[in-house]
Amino acid sequence: MACAYRIPKFLQFFIIFTIISCSFSRLVSANVELDEDNWKQILDGEWMVEFYAPWCPACNALAPVWRDLSTQAARKSLAMRAAEVDVTKSPGLSGRFVVTALPTIFHVIDGEFRQYKGPRDVDSMLGFVQQKRWQQTEPVPAWKAPHSLQMTLVAEFFKLSQVLRSVHTMLMEQYGLPTWGSYLIFAIGTILIGALLGLLLVCIIDLLYPPRRSDKVLVSAAEARHRDLDGKGVDDEQELINDDIVDDNEKDSDAEKNSASDSSSSEAAPAAGGDVADDKPEVRKRRPRKAD
165 with 122, same domain? Answer: no
157 with 196, same domain? Answer: yes
Whether 56 is catalytic is yes
On whether residue 175 sits in a domain, the answer given is: yes
128 with 180, same domain? Answer: no
On whether residue 7 sits in a domain, the answer given is: no
On whether residue 176 sits in a domain, the answer given is: yes
Question: Measured between alpha carbons, how far apart are the two ends of the chain, in Å?
Answer: 148
Q: Could you tell me the residue range of the domain that residue 53 belongs to?
A: 28-144
pLDDT interval class at 115 (50, 70, 90):
very high
On whether residue 42 sits in a domain, the answer given is: yes
Whether 22 is catalytic is no
107 with 168, same domain? Answer: no
Choosing from 3, 22, 59, 203, the catalytic residue is 59
Pairing of strands 104-109, 112-116: antiparallel
Four-residue CA torsion sign, 269, 275, 276, 282: negative
Q: Which amino acid is at 215?
A: D
Mean pLDDT check: name the lowest of 3-12, 103-112, 167-176, 214-223.
Answer: 3-12
41 with 69, same domain? Answer: yes
Residues 6+ apart with CB under 8 A from 18: none
How much is the pTM?
0.55
113 with 163, same domain? Answer: no
Considering its fold, how many domains does the chain have in total? 2
On whether residue 68 sits in a domain, the answer given is: yes
The predicted pLDDT at position 30 comes to 56
- Among 116-125, 147-156, 273-282, which range has the highest average pLDDT? 116-125
On whether residue 41 sits in a domain, the answer given is: yes
* Mean pLDDT for the chain overall: 75
Sheet holding 32-34, edge to edge: 32-34, 81-86, 46-52, 104-109, 112-116
